[in-house]
């Protein structure tokens, strides 16, 4: 069904009883041209672009739980393209442009809301770093504005400007950044991919790879039987090491837990996204009124999908430092998600050393904003067997070659990226 103002009116007049399911629920076939492991945003976007951009329609997405049950459904929904390093700058801007036309492309309301992001700075050195990043963005045709404290006060009058230790000196603003409704992104891609012929198969965990005599991957073993494949693409977010290990592959990746929090709903307060530069705290307000916020990783390897108390305390302290009035607001919920933390903080989109197996991994903390571009470039790689120009630096061998994309300058220490 094509959604429009008329379909909505028709459904309203008939008591909303006529809505049909948004995507098919087929049984797995015995073979596909391309099998994607992982029904998160990246896997589904890849399938969507394979079908609609590259004409490859005999595709399956295999998801061990339900689609969107991983990080796609656990993140804080921030989208932005304020990156400073070659490789990242162009890629995330490609993603931003795809976000801007996503609702038209998918015929689905993904609630992309370009409310702006302000990264606050609190020292001269940080201002210089932000000025440099802003300049890099503008040279590349991306919007960025460096604001001083007086200008920030106009946008965000409620912040604590009198903090003696971390005074707010200004901020880097990207007005085109914002948030999107994460579940809707999943459902929108699932619906559009399914319409393009893609089989979305839930409750289907990949438990092993099928290899031929030369070691080439020719299919996967799953909890719903063996499925043959011309090519297999992995887009399993925090599970990359575990899935790659089934093919005997070790990756430059660690799995870490990141927590997120939601408060009770309050009246509209926070216009866009605000980040605290002296510690680590970021916040936005959902359409329902809850404050959505988070901060650092818990810091140690984890597959537990739940976090611990010290980070909760640290995040709340960060919030109190810039917005003391939220001390009166109750926290409603907290959860954790497991992410791939790569050795340089940047993703890996590449052929693996094993024939027939392709990697989309290492998304660290910021992979939600990458969802549309990740799908496009991974589909390109799977369809053409060559890197998309905007993903040409996300190679697996960059660590060996010393060509890291280390946005934070932390070195090979995943929990610091």
Partner 1 sequence: MRIACPFCGERENGEFTYLGDASPERPNFAVDGRESPDRVEDAFYDYVYLRDNVAGVMREYWYHGGGCRSWLVAERNTVTHEFISVTAAPGAGAASAVRAGE
Ligand X SMILES: Cc1cc2nc3c(=O)[nH]c(=O)nc-3n(C[C@H](O)[C@H](O)[C@H](O)COP(=O)(O)OP(=O)(O)OC[C@H]3O[C@@H](n4cnc5c(N)ncnc54)[C@H](O)[C@@H]3O)c2cc1C
In the complex, the residues that contact partner 1 under the rule CB under 8 A are 241-242, 245, 250-255, 299-304, 308-310, 313, 343, 399-400, 412-415
CA trace torsion 314, 319, 324, 325 (10° rounding):
-120
Nearest distance in Å: CB 223, ligand X: 8
Which one of partner 1, ligand X, none is in contact with 308 (Cβ closer than 5 to 8 A by kind)? partner 1
| 357-361/59-62 β-pairing | unpaired
Residue 39 interaction partner, one of partner 1, ligand X, none, beta carbon < 5-8 Å per kind: ligand X
Question: Between residues 187 and 394, which has the closer beta carbon with respect to partner 1?
Answer: 394
CB of residue 205 to ligand X, shortest distance in Å: 4
Q: Which two tokens stand for residue 197?
A: 């012929």
Q: What are phi and psi of 226, to 5 degrees?
A: -80, 135
Nearer to partner 1 (CB atom), residue 158 or residue 300: 300
**Which residues are within 8 A (CB) of 75 and not within 5 positions of it... i.e. 6 or more apart?**
182, 260, 337, 367, 368
Rounded to a whole number of angstroms, the minimum distance from the CB of residue 274 to ligand X is 13
Pairing type for strands 253-265 and 273-276 reads: unpaired
Q: Decide which of ligand X, partner 1, none touches 258; Cβ closer than 5 to 8 Å per partner kind.
A: ligand X
From partner 1, ligand X, none, interface partner of 260 (C-beta below 5 to 8 A by class): ligand X
Helices 371-384, 88-100: crossing angle, 10 deg rounding: 110
Q: Which is nearer to ligand X, 245 or 325 (CB)?
A: 245
**Interacting residues with ligand X (CB under 6 A):** 37-43, 62-65, 69-72, 74-78, 205-206, 235-237, 239, 243, 258-260, 294, 337, 339, 363, 365-369
173 binds, among ligand X, partner 1, none (CB under 5 to 8 A by kind): none
CA gap 130, 82 in Å, rounded: 10
CB of 364 to partner 1, least distance (A): 14
Nearer to ligand X, 80 or 127 (CB): 80
Query: What is the DSSP annotation of 70-139?
Result: SGGGTS--EE-----STTHHHHHHHHHHHHHTHHHHHTS----B---EEEEE-SHHHHHHHHHHHHHHHH
CB of residue 12 to ligand X, shortest distance in Å: 32
Residue 304 CB, nearest approach to ligand X (Å): 12
Residue closer to ligand X by CB (options 163, 305) is: 305
What is d(CA 415, CA 306) in angstroms, rounded to the nearest whole number? 16
Q: Which residues have CB under 8 Å from 223's CB, separation 6+?
A: 64, 203, 204, 205, 207
Least separation in angstroms between residue 243's CB and partner 1 is 11
With CB under 5 to 8 Å by kind, the binding choice for 413 among ligand X, partner 1, none is: partner 1
Would you say 256 and 297 are in contact if contact means Cβ atoms under 8 Å apart? yes
Whose Cβ is closer to partner 1: residue 250's or residue 288's? 250
In whole angstroms, the minimum distance from the beta carbon of 50 to ligand X comes to 15
CB 29 within 8 A of CB 225: no
136 versus 259: smaller Cβ distance to ligand X: 259
Contact (Cβ atoms closer than 8 angstroms) between residue 42 and residue 371: yes
Q: Of 357 and 379, which has the nearer Cβ to partner 1? A: 357
């Amino acid at each position: 069904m094509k959604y429009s103002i008329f379909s909505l009116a028709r459904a309203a007049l008939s008591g909303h009883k006529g809505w049909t399911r948004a995507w098919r629920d087929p049984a797995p076939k015995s073979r596909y041209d391309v099998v994607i492991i992982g029904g998160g945003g990246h896997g589904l976007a890849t399938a969507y672009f394979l079908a609609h951009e590259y004409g490859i329609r005999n595709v399956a997405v295999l998801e061990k739980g339900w689609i969107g049950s991983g990080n796609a459904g656990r993140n804080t929904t921030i989208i932005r393209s304020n990156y400073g390093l070659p490789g990242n700058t162009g890629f995330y801007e490609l993603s931003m442009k795809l976000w801007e036309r996503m609702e038209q492309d998918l015929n689905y309301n993904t609630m992309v809301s370009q409310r702006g992001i302000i990264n606050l700075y609190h020292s001269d050195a940080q201002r210089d770093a932000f000025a440099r990043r802003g300049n890099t963005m503008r040279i590349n045709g991306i919007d960025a504005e460096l604001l001083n404290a007086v200008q920030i006060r106009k946008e965000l009058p409620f912040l604590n400007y009198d903090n003696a230790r971390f005074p707010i000196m200004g901020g880097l603003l990207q007005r085109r950044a914002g948030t999107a409704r994460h579940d809707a992104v999943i459902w929108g891609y699932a619906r559009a991919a399914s319409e393009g012929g893609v089989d979305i198969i839930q409750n289907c965990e990949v438990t092993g790879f099928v290899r031929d005599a030369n070691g080439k991957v020719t299919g996967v073993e799953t909890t719903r039987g063996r499925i043959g494949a011309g090519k297999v693409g992995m887009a399993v977010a925090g599970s990359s090491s575990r899935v790659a290990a089934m093919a005997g592959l070790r990756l430059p990746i660690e799995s870490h837990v990141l927590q997120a929090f939601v408060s009770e709903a309050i009246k509209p307060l926070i216009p866009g996204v605000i980040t605290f530069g002296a510690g680590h705290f970021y916040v936005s307000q959902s359409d329902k009124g809850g404050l959505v916020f988070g901060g650092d990783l818990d810091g140690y390897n984890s597959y537990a999908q739940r976090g611990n108390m010290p980070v909760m305390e640290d995040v709340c302290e960060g919030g109190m430092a810039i917005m003391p009035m939220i001390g009166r607001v109750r926290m409603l919920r907290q959860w954790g998600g497991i992410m791939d933390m790569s050795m340089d903080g940047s993703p890996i989109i590449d052929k693996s050393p094993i024939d027939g197996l392709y990697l989309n991994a290492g998304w660290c903390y910021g992979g939600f904003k990458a969802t549309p571009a990740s799908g496009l470039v991974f589909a390109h790689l799977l369809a053409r067997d060559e890197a998309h120009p905007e993903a040409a630096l996300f190679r697996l061998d960059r660590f060996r070659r010393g060509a890291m994309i280390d946005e934070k300058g932390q070195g090979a220490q995943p929990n610091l990226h």
